[in-house]
Amino acid sequence: MLRKIIFIFITTIILGITGYFTFLYYATYSEGVRSGELIKFSHKGMVFKTWEGEISQGISGAQIFSFSIMDSDKEVISNLKDMEGQYVKVTYVERYKTFPWWGDTKYFITNVKKDVSPFKLK
C-alpha cells in the first residue's frame, strides 16, 4: 500500500514537471514586429553562451527593445551580424519564461530584414 502511494506521488511530480517544461518550451505569449536601429548584438555568457541584442526605437536611444536569438536560428544570427548599426525590422515571439541556455529575455527574434528609417531626411 505504501509503495503504491509513493509510486503515484512520484509519478504525479514527474508528470507535473514534464508538463510545466513542455508548456514553457512550446507556448508563446505574443508575436509581433518591431523596428529600430540595431545598436547591439553579442554572444555572451559564462556558463551558457547566448545571442543577445538591442534595438533603439526612439531618438537618442530613449526606448530600447532587448531581445534574444535561439542558437538554431543561424540565418537570423548571420543577418543581424551584417546589419549592426542599420535600421531593421524584426519579427519576434514572446514567451512566458525562458531557460538560461536560451537567452536573457523573453523576446526571441525569428526573422530580420533591413528597413528604411523614418528619421532619415529625403
Reported as a single tens digit per residue, the pLDDT across 73-113 is: 899 999 999 998 899 999 999 999 888 888 889 999 999 99
**Rounded Cα–Cα distance for residues 13 and 100 (Å):** 22
Domain residue ranges of the chain, discontinuous segments joined by +: 28-114
**pTM assigned to the model:** 0.79
Dig out the grid coordinates for 113 from the structure: 530584414
Q: Model confidence at 115, in pLDDT bands (50, 70, 90)?
A: confident
The string of DSSP letters for 90-115 reads EEEEE-S---TTT-SSSEEEEEEEE-
Dig out the grid coordinates for 32 from the structure: 509581433
Q: What is the dihedral sign for C-alpha 21, 65, 79, 90?
A: positive
Assign domain 28-114 to its CATH superfamily: Nucleic acid-binding proteins (2.40.50.140)
